[in-house]
Amino acid sequence: MRYDLKSSSHSVYSLNYHLILVVKYRRKIFTNQGIIDELKERTRNIAKNYDIQIANQEVDKDHMHILFSSKPTSNLTKFINALKTGTSKSIRHRFDVEDKLWNNVFWSDSYCLITTGEVTLGQLKKYVESQGEDNATNTKNKD
């Protein structure tokens, strides 16, 4: 099993995530390329401040998908809150979107954050189970 591993002074890791942010009540805000470009650029800038590496990001008319990796020390909750606040303020400042929003609220309170991996959960379970097989074989041979 091979991973694209990163390392720091005390750890080796591969932490990849899929984040989905939805506009409150799925209002169709992302219909203007200028808004989309501002959202993506602001997202990249905020991610840098949290040592987050954006692998990919795309938007539909009412939501955004971001694939990113982080360090074990990254505070993902703070990153997501900063991302929602920063992108909302930036877009409101540069574009006239107030009439498209519900009660002047940009992002939904909730978000979806999913861990991703380079192998499937089934492959990982088989690998972990196989680690115990060598011990069981060695224990039986000693008897």
More confident residue, 89 or 124: 89
**Residue 133 above 80 pLDDT?**
no
33-65 residue pLDDT tens: 999 999 999 999 999 999 999 999 999 999 999
What per-residue confidence (pLDDT) applies to 95? Answer: 96
Check pLDDT > 70 for residue 143: no
Confidence at residue 142, expressed as pLDDT on a 0 to 100 scale: 56
Pick 84 or 122 by higher pLDDT. 84
Share of the chain above pLDDT 90, in %: 71
Average pLDDT over residues 8-20: 92
The span from the CA of 128 to the CA of 131, in Å, is 5
Residue 137's pLDDT band (cuts 50, 70, 90) = low
To the question of domain 6-142 being in CATH 3.40.47.10, the answer is: no
What's the number of CA atoms in the CB half-sphere (13 Å) around residue 143? 5
Mapping DSSP to helix (H, G, I), strand (E, B) and coil, where does residue 5 land?
coil
